[in-house]
Structure 1
């Protein structure tokens, strides 16, 4: 696999991915238990229960019926109407980053599964897996540009708008900078391969493309496992859950 270099074999990447997923799942489990401390009216031995928190959230989410649940998911989670009411610019930024990030995460997971099928020729579908991966190139680029657009707005606001700049901590800058850096390294790796949408082979340099691809992969896995579950970026999960549990609103 030319994608992996510097001694990082495909098998090691699979192992690293499994470890990252395990850390991420534990991070979500840890946060659910922590949020469960906010529950009231329960006996102390149950207040740190992961399942109690989940059951309580489900009860609140469907308290007013399935229609209210679906309306909240569409209007407040998928369309971010509360953000749009506050600031159209922030709405564009959040929508771009939200859908760009989620789509790239889903495509990356699918790509990894196809890599496994192709590498081990599972059920003899190696050729089909390679074809599907080729079809994924355009969606990767489209959602990559979307994430790049959103993260560029986020950085620009923190540089150009004094109020936003004064309220930006080093911690905020690190997180936004990490997303921007991961996106840029991914694009640069694609540009060096010479198969990027819009840019084409303008920056083609195949010798170094695998190195940048490796850097992008390690940075993305690090963000996914070491930052998302343990930082304010957990709001990607916490905010939609809160909106749904409260049945949304203007």
Structure 2
């Protein structure tokens, strides 16, 4: 986080921006759940067209065949993407690396912000320990970053070199996949510029511009979270697992 502060993006501005993005994202989830609830029937009239109706309907459907079926579907079809693997091992590799790379990097970023808060205020005197943990997170960041880059590269390559995939590619696909690829590249380049990077070392070391790329990387990532995911067809990253669970697997 310290890299941003040299560019005028202070700690409190980072916090404010993060809260704003999370607020927009949570409202986007709420908005979509409420919209989906408008198509539901079979419950009390006062609940119809509501957020809570969707939640109640989904829980009823997802657990209709028992907890074990829910857990089995969640593990095999949501976490391991069994249905995608059956259709295409290449698409499975692309989806699973993008999914886990993106989700875990987002979680690590959240942990990093919490650690930065401990460091910033020296909470309970644990600033030094937080700095040690923060430094230890560099390797997981790199590993899951490479995983995300691998998946995004497969996605870009399929749309460039496979005619049938290219013919089905829409502007939405270009924006999302291109955005993920650009976010990953700028994040890596910012890390490489700091020097001593995993697999690369100090080949690209140029610390003076590292904060600039780090800032671009963060703003692009936050924009993807707040502007694109909740308000476009890419809400399917949440809708698809919910649908699979509600149907208890199957096709």
1:77 corresponds to 2:78: yes
1:145 corresponds to 2:146: yes
CA distance in 2, matches of 1:73, 1:42: 26
Q: CA deviation at 1:30?
A: 0.4
Question: Equivalent residue for 1:28?
Answer: 29
CA distance in 2, matches of 1:195, 1:20: 32
Answer yes or no: is the 8 Å Cα contact 1:24–1:224 preserved in 2.
yes
Q: For the structure 1 residues 191 and 62, does the alpha-carbon distance in structure 2 shift closer, same or farther, using more than 3 Å as the test? A: same
What does the per-residue CA deviation read over 1:28-47, in whole Å, with 9 as the maximum and x for residues that have no partner?
Answer: 00010011112122455422
CA distance in 1, matches of 2:45, 2:52: 14
CA distance in 2, matches of 1:218, 1:208: 16
Question: Equivalent residue for 1:68?
Answer: 69
What does the per-residue CA deviation read over 1:126-177, in whole Å, with 9 as the maximum and x for residues that have no partner?
Answer: 1111111111110000000000000000010001000110111122111110
- Structure 2: gaps spanning 5 or more residues: none
Q: CA deviation at 1:5?
A: 3.4
Question: Equivalent residue for 1:121?
Answer: 122
> SS of the residue aligned with 1:2?
helix
CA distance in 2, matches of 1:2, 1:101: 22
1:134-173 aligned at under 5 Å gives the runs 134-173=135-174
Question: Equivalent residue for 1:247?
Answer: 248
Answer yes or no: is the 8 Å Cα contact 2:152–2:181 preserved in 1.
yes
- Structure 1: gaps spanning 5 or more residues: none
CA distance in 1, matches of 2:114, 2:57: 34
Q: CA RMSD in A?
A: 1.2
After the TM superposition, list the runs of 4 or more consecutive aligned residues in structure 1 that deviate by more than 6 angstroms.
none
TM-score of the superposed pair, with normalisation by structure 1: 0.97
> SS of the residue aligned with 1:208?
helix
Answer yes or no: is the 8 Å Cα contact 2:84–2:91 preserved in 1.
yes
Question: Equivalent residue for 2:198?
Answer: 197
